[in-house]
Amino acid sequence: MTIEDYKGVFTFAQQVHGELSNVSLELIGKARDLARDLQTDVSVMLLGHNVSHMAKDLIAFGADHVIVIDDPVLEEYRTEPYTQGVTAIIDSYKPEIVLFGATAIGRDLAPRVAGRVHTGLTADCTSLDIDPESKEFRMTRPAFGGNLMATIICPDHRPSMATVRPGVMVKELRDDSREGEIVKFDYSFEENQCWFEIEEVIKKVSHKIDITQAKVLVSGGRGMGDASCFEMLQGLADALGGEVSCSRAVVDAGWQPKERQVGQTGKTVRPQLYIACGISGAIQHLAGMEESDYIVAINKDPDAPIFNVADVGIVGDLHRIVPMLTEKILASRQE
């Protein structure tokens, strides 16, 4: 086969315990954009046990075809059986492009599949598009610690494969009237030397919402001064019904955990309201939050780059402004 014989844009639908991840739906939305430029279809690979009913949901969010492997072996995610299943689908259908979410599962699965089908993989992409002239698939991701954006192509091998960071792409609106094809893919799994058994699954209960799902984020940067000042931000976040996030400098200083970081080397967020406190606005941070619906920036430096993307800018001492904002918001709720 030649690379011209590979057709279609495929995505992997990640589900855990019967629940589809948001990034799986976001990937379908982007796949439709790519497929439109290539004049082809979007197919979604759905693996698991008792998951066939999810196929209709995937069609409602934009899939033209859903290829399902439903087997008890796939009840819990395990690297080898999922790798075998996805590889078998790719070998059978020969897609031109395959997309995975850059989640813990996607980062484990995608490189192994790429190795089995003898192609490359671009990890943690923040932008995907099709060259209008050459029709090459262009994958853009941060490089050199986020200081450079690299655009990568895969001209000699197919499929072109990429993992995409959650929150970067926008899922389409659900349309239950959409029609699509559901295909049951039969596959016999082989227990080889890479096989392992899961003895126990221990769930960690978290009382914090993933920042990519929060509608309101109050984010702190190096200008907060120290870790104790984040209690002040938590007060504002609580008053607004939101969550606290931060910049990379804060994580590097050990003031906040990595899962709270916004930016190219953290998470990409799109809240309805993003309040940036003591964040200068380096390009690496802006890339992770500039698509927020409404941005408020508080910084004592009037020339801080964050003001270039802010809808409202407040120049002043955040240690005075944030408590005043919190007080006013709480007072307005009591009226």
Whether residue 325 sits in one domain with residue 225: yes
Instruction: Give the integer Cα–Cα distance in Å for 23 and 212.
Output: 10
Domain CATH for 327:
3.40.50.1220
Q: Among 142, 167, 184, which residue terminates a domain?
A: 184
In a domain, 62, yes or no: yes
Measured distance CA(192)–CA(195) in Å, rounded: 6
For residue 196, being part of any structural domain is answered with no
Both tokens of residue 305? 């780059």
161 occurs within a structural domain: yes
pLDDT at 232: 92
- Is residue 161 within 8 Å of 119, Cβ to Cβ? yes
130 and 75, same domain (yes or no): yes
Which of these three, 184, 204, 231, is where a domain ends? 184
* pTM of the entire predicted model: 0.74
Round to whole Å and give the CA distance between 135 and 138. Answer: 9
Tell me, yes or no, whether 166 lies in a domain. yes
221 and 288, same structural domain?
A: yes
**Same-domain check for residues 254 and 141:** no
- Total count of domains within the chain: 2
Bridge-based pairing of strands 137-143 and 127-130 is: antiparallel
Domain that holds residue 258: 216-334
Where among 184, 206, 237 does a domain terminate?
184
Assess whether 22 and 139 both reside in one domain. Answer: yes
Q: Is residue 195 part of a domain?
A: no
pLDDT value, residue 59: 94
Reduced to 3 states, what is the DSSP secondary structure of residue 169?
coil
Altogether, the residues listed in the chain come to a count of 335
Q: Say yes or no: 167 and 255 in one domain.
A: no
**133 shares its domain with 229:** no
Does any domain span residue 208? no
Say what the pLDDT of residue 165 is: 84
Asked if residue 230 and residue 178 are part of one domain, the reply reads: no
175 with 238, same domain: the answer is no
Residues 7 and 154 in one domain: yes
Measuring CA to CA, which residue among 33, 250, 268, 285 is closest to residue 168?
Answer: 268
How many C-beta atoms lie closer than 10 Å to residue 228's C-beta? Answer: 9
In this structure, are 17 and 163 located in the same domain? yes
Strand partners, 276: 219, 297
194 part of a folded domain: no
Instruction: Look at residue 206 and tell me if it is in a domain.
Output: no
Do 29 and 164 share a structural domain? Answer: yes
Q: What confidence score (pLDDT) does residue 43 get?
A: 94
Q: What is the DSSP letter of 274?
A: E
pLDDT of the residue at 19: 87
Please report where in the chains the tokens 């929150």 appear, as a residue.
167
Over residues 125-164, the pLDDT tens digits come to: 888 999 888 889 999 887 766 567 788 888 888 999 999 9
Residues of the chain with pLDDT under 50: none
